[in-house]
Amino acid sequence: MIRKYKAIMPPVTAVQWTGENKREVYSFLGSEKIEGQAIKSKSKYFYIQYGDVTDSLMLVNQHPNSNDSRVSVGNMIVKMGTGLYDHFSKDYFETIYEETLDD
């Protein structure tokens, strides 16, 4: 008998990159916080690529032979169950995850 199945995704934590929420995103991505100092704009998972016109949030690719990826404003940054980070468009993210009140 042919049946349809859906993937059961493990729970994740996520934050939407707005371009304005740097402190929240940097903290989410593991940036070191030192009381009384500015939060660092890099960690082993991300860095800021400074440009002439705009600066870009870049996720460090954790997979061998792959390039780092630019996070577009509006994308959801996701901490996977493995502890690694990825990002998806908000529309795609909402097709595979739904918000839960569980911790």
The Cα angle at residue 77 between residues 96 and 18, in degrees rounded to 5: 115
| pTM, 2 dp | 0.74
Question: Which residue type occupies 15?
Answer: V
Instruction: State the residue range of the domain holding 74.
Output: 19-96
* In a domain? residue 51: yes
Integer-rounded Cα Rg, in Å, for the chain is 16
Give the tens place of pLDDT for each residue, 65-77: 678 888 999 999 9
Give the mean pLDDT of 82-103: 85
Complete DSSP assignment for 15-55: EE--SS-HHHHHHHTT----TTSPPPSB-SSEEEE--SS--
In a domain, 6, yes or no: no
Asked if the structure places residue 12 within a domain, the reply is no
Condensed to tens digits (0 to 9), the pLDDT of residues 22-62 reads 888 888 888 776 666 666 677 788 888 776 656 788 888 77
pLDDT, residue 53, reads: 59
